[in-house]
Amino acid sequence: MSLVGKKAPRFTASAVVNGGEFVDNFSLDQYLGKQNVIFFFYPLDFTFVCPTELIAFQRKLAEFEKRNCAVVGCSVDSKFSHWAWLQTPQDKGGIHGVTYPIVADLSKTIAENYGVLAGHYDYDEDGNTIFNGVPQAYRGLFLINKEGTVRHCVINDMPLGRNVDEALRMLDAMIFNEENGEVCPANWREGEDAMQGTHESVSAYLAKHQN
């Protein structure tokens, strides 16, 4: 079930911030009324596709911050695993240099509440708790506005890396919509024409951009 248009699930968890500092009561509530948030999940620390994504977000971090948007990562690893990965050089498979917060979802409840956990808990014939599926998160990304509402989300299967520029484009579109009330057509980018959300506006837009 999609979270778009709903309040983002709240949580309090351990996290590593500023590239190596432990925070035991990290919450997205700190951004309410102040900043938009890109909250993204990745499967595991010390893997292969994941560092390319986390480093890509770091390289664009200034662009997100310029738009008053916080970037927060999350996986089912412990805070100690996050810390170790953050201390590992990039040429050794690490993510040293990443400064935005990385949340530890060791209980997997955050991933489950956001609908990105790649499986579920169940019971076997003897009544023992088991996990059906893969106890990791899919590559979910959630764009949350200052009011705490999810305005956009995308969920990729584990082998499929995301496009950080697309996350920026959607952030620009959300900000433009919230500030101007106009709607953003396909492939819209900041500075381009938008529409009023009427049939006449759509027709005029299509006529102007028919090529």
The DSSP bridge partners found for residue 70 are: 37
Amino acid of residue 164: V
Q: Are 41 and 111 in contact (CB under 8 A)?
A: yes
This prediction has a pTM of 0.91
The DSSP bridge partners found for residue 140 are: 155
Distance of CA 36 to the CA centre of its chain: 11
Does the structure show a pLDDT above 80 at 50?
Answer: yes
Active site residues: 50
pLDDT in tens, 67-123: 999 999 999 999 999 999 999 999 999 999 999 999 999 999 999 999 999 998 889
Q: Are 98 and 58 in contact (CB under 8 A)?
A: yes
| Structural domain 13-162, CATH architecture | 3-Layer(aba) Sandwich (3.40)
Give the pairing type, strands 21-26 and 13-17. antiparallel
Delimit the domains of the chain by residue range.
Answer: 13-162
Amino acid of residue 9: P
Q: What is the pLDDT of residue 121?
A: 84
